[in-house]
Structure 1
Amino acid sequence: MSEANAPRVRVLVADDHPVYREGVSRAIKARPEFELIAEAEDGRRALELVQELNPDVAVLDVQMPGLQGNDVLHAIKRDGLPTRVVLLSAHLDSETVYRAVASGAGAYLSKESSRERICDAIAAVARGEVVLSAEVQAGLASEIQIRERDQRPALTPREHEILVLTANGHSAPDIGKQLHLSQSTVKTHLKSLYEKLAVNDRAAAVAEAMRRGLLE
């Protein structure tokens, strides 16, 4: 099917600021590949329209009365609706962006983005792509790194040393000899390791440590 004959992307826009919403809607109407099918002034009405009309793409302000953009996104994904979501926000804090992307947002853009940029994102999201504005990419990368670190328990150097030896198949007495520690001291460190990794035995400790990247 040629682009000229391709069905138009059906779009819904939701924002509680009339002037901003009208500006985005006007830009969408100007693009021949789009069909603006509805507008909403709050999140609850936006969700009702998504459920009723099944737009291809919903363009949602993150901060809306009733339901916020992330709440609408969550409901769309929870109910298995096919609508893809473009989120617009004046606040680009990394935690909010991370939650939105993790929840399945197709795009996350600053509300200061040009209308052309927003329309290009709608087209990309309709194709199944993910779009993040340059303003949010660095913050998102930082948030991912922070969360990755938070998933790794803070082991002491001695605990890490014992963990590595345990992973290499050494018993507690062997580890004690190699590190010049008493067997009871080694067992104390192992107990601490188990607690930090939320496991009950050596095999589980090694498996969990590998999963969390602690043996790299």
Structure 2
Amino acid sequence: MVRILVADDHDVVRSGVRGILEARAGWEVVAEASDGMAAIQKAVETQPDIAVLDYSLPLANGVEVTRIVRAKLPKLEILIFTMHENEEIIGDLLAAGAKGYLLKSDARELLITAVESLAEHRPFFTGKVSEALLETYVSKYREGRHVLTARERRVVQLIAEGHSNKSIADLLSLSAKTVETHRSSAMRKLNLRSTAALVRYAVRNKLVEA
């Protein structure tokens, strides 16, 4: 049995979602809510497996509801059900703990598939949302790669490998002062305050092997 909470401030939407979900054998809508505070209360009371939440809920929006109920019920999977296709909203919801994002325009076709994915603790995003997330990821990755110059990345790599400034200067045919300038510049750009943090950055970003 998959137990589901549906929260939307429009009666007709809740009724439609309930009808689609309960047509599936073994699925039951155990609670409905018309605002964010009621959604939190109903979630705690009924402890469903999945919550289908409208992003634009009154009193507490989808991000706030997600953050609160995930803290109280960490096993609860959350599917955001919305008209909004916005990268910032998607990012906020993912950070809050939502694992699914479905546009209302895709509900008739994809709601069952989305809930099936979350019931198996797998994420679900429609094609358009997946494309937006991919574009954002690639953009941030590229920005991150170019925070440091090629020479700064090389200096960071050698520091992480345990070389001293003098050793790095010899390897790169630079003065020790220039090496220190590159090191200081890299740490400033990355907002790091210690060699240990610089080493962790190098490992995390595959500049050296862990």
Sort the TM-score into its range (normalised by shorter chain).
0.7 to 0.9
State the match for 1:130 in structure 2: 123
State the match for 1:40 in structure 2: 33
CA contact (8 A) 2:160 2:202 kept: no
Alpha-carbon distance in 2 for matches of 1:162, 1:56: 50
Alpha-carbon distance in 2 for matches of 1:24, 1:137: 23
The aligned runs of 1:8-157 (5 Å cut-off) are: 8-149=1-142, 154-157=147-150
* 2:25 aligned partner, one-letter code: P
Gaps of 5+ in 2: none
Classify 1:150/1:71 alpha carbon distance in 2 versus 1 (closer, same or farther; 3 Å): farther
Classify 1:40/1:164 alpha carbon distance in 2 versus 1 (closer, same or farther; 3 Å): closer
Alpha-carbon distance in 1 for matches of 2:136, 2:146: 17
CA contact (8 A) 1:95 1:143 kept: no
The aligned runs of 1:126-205 (5 Å cut-off) are: 126-149=119-142, 154-197=147-190, 198-201=192-195, 204-205=197-198
Cα offset, 1:49, TM superposition: 0.7
Q: TM-score, normalised by structure 1?
A: 0.81
Gaps of 5+ in 1: 1-7
Classify 1:207/1:34 alpha carbon distance in 2 versus 1 (closer, same or farther; 3 Å): closer
Task: State the number of aligned residues.
Answer: 208
Following superposition, which runs of at least 4 residues in structure 1 exceed 4 angstroms of deviation? 149-153, 167-170, 177-180
Aligned-pair identity (%): 36
Classify 1:153/1:26 alpha carbon distance in 2 versus 1 (closer, same or farther; 3 Å): same
Residue 31 of structure 1 aligns to a residue whose secondary structure is coil
Cα offset, 1:137, TM superposition: 0.7
- Cα RMSD after superposing both structures: 2.6
Alpha-carbon distance in 2 for matches of 1:169, 1:56: 49
Which shifted more, 96-105 or 137-146? 96-105
CA contact (8 A) 1:54 1:82 kept: no
What is the CA deviation profile of residues 49-85 of structure 1, one whole-angstrom value per residue up to 9, with x for unaligned ones?
1111112221111111111112111111111354321
Classify 1:215/1:196 alpha carbon distance in 2 versus 1 (closer, same or farther; 3 Å): farther
